[in-house]
Structure 1
């Protein structure tokens, strides 16, 4: 079974194991809930990693499911322990306002920490996993979700820590990013910040686990243009894949199989309509030169 890098990852893995054991035992959610004398929704939340597991409940589920292997029991109980640990992001978010945004940021950081791959389409900004500190600061200031410099600094640091997943030596996170051409045009912060940001994209896109493609204006309107979104994929046994949407109030996560497959299909269409890797890097480099020219006060 894959290891977890976050408490949420441990909950998702525990949930996947509990669902597997329930299926093996031939029991329905209602039947398990009746034996555990709890609601069906509680069992469902445990299986989807949305509920925080309690040791007595999991011990009882082990009994109900007839788990006799010491190794299997120890693995389940270890996941319960790990799922109750604190995530690395919690000190950065502690005390920040706008609880919904903060909660979603924490969940997203946890999902990325344990993911195999993120496939994302961005229509306004560069993806957070590839933002430079100055660009991230300008984005956060523009959204108005946080108002004070200290709060912005903490969220910028959160993004920097998230980016470490791309750089880790052991199984780095894979990122497949499609950028609408408008992202290259839009001046975020200043021309100098844009030039630095696009240079960073060029550097990161040369890593074997990072792919950046540009969807040109010439490609016309696509159904993916309804808004920025992504699909987060996990190794088998690590919980179901998750789609997410970006909006004014932050991120919305969707884990229904139909939703995930729909967004996976839309992303595939956008990827096919994008420039190839070489042409995409050339386009990013061209816009880097343009922004750099404006920053230096010379004609583009």
Structure 2
């Protein structure tokens, strides 16, 4: 009897191990919102801190909970706005650096260097705004020897329309021959210089209007913050009518400033050739 029980348990154990090896259990994947929170945890933390600080400062100055909530919600957007501003500035620096980079490519190609060598050389002597991406391209092509995958990686790292055009021109030249590649890159450099010059003139003409709108949006609230040091001002806005005036004025200021920024922003060239090569 004991032998039967031991044999049965031994057989059940072997069957369980075999089933586990055939169908290994995988931990359930977290939901999509949890993955998004984990990927953007730094941005969420900065948003929370900025919103809390803005709300506390507004309540300390105005002593109005509704306006403090509005300020907290707006302050929470500041980290995202700063990130987008930094990204636009980086794109503008890369756009200004591309003509010089294209001239360096043309010089390298006419000196007899191959496509991979010409692009890799920009990692050491190219414009500073583009140098890290080309340095990583040089490391990747040196490690793998695969020009196609290295060009895809370069396109993803740079992430702008000019890089897409340059990478696809290099890809076609590598596959079909590049007799006119230097002339194509030189013409592209001339067009980019003219485009950057026209864009700079538009931004210079537009800057006075943008700065004036910023001053007009901020000035009333600076005056209100200064007047809030007097007890009578805080008491005047403590009733429902004063709260409605403050909240309405704040929302109007935010909406008007957002519309000004949105309508006054120059359009950016779309990435038509952003897809990876198949």
Superposition TM-score, scaled by structure 1 size: 0.26
Which structure has greater strand proportion? 1
The structure where helix makes up a greater share of residues is: 2
Rg comparison, structure with higher value: 2
